Amino acid sequence: MKIQELADKMGLTAHTIRFYEKEGLLDGRHIQREKNNYRNYSDEAIERLKLIKKFQGIGCSLAELKTILQEHDSNARTNHEIMEWIYKKIDEIERKKDEYDQMLLTLNWMLEYRKTLIENPQKAQAMLAAVYRPDPSN
């Protein structure tokens, strides 16, 4: 199949697919060049792109993705090594989740403060003072 057909099937742009090829994420198993130098993508390219999207979906960087796919292609990691990587990825996502939860708390407080500022400026001042009041337990 031609690049645009593959892009449409996968919900990607042709530019993105060319980028993956340039970065070595797609190779000769996935792309054949025709006599006119057009790319012709195999069904394996679809499976490869699904795998790429899956790993991007869990937050893998391009460098991480390259390593993962090379190891996947060569079966370089044992099951235990893959499980260890998964544990580390879970920890990384948990840390990010905690950071996002903290951001949401802050944004929700800011929103509540702004609403209160409109309805009851004195209460809003008290909210603000409470935030900046030193903790006596320190």
pLDDT in tens, 75-112: 989 999 999 999 999 999 999 999 999 999 999 999 99
CA distances from 112 to 4, 30, 109, 127, 130 (A): 48, 53, 5, 10, 14
Question: 136 pLDDT band (50/70/90 cuts)?
Answer: low
Share of the chain above pLDDT 70, in %: 97
- Terminal-residue alpha carbon distance, the chain: 66
Residue 34 vs residue 122, higher pLDDT? 122
Q: What are phi and psi of 41, to 5 degrees?
A: -95, 140
pLDDT tens readout for residues 25-57 = 998 899 998 888 888 999 999 999 999 999 999
Distance of CA 3 to the CA centre of its chain: 24
pTM of the model: 0.72
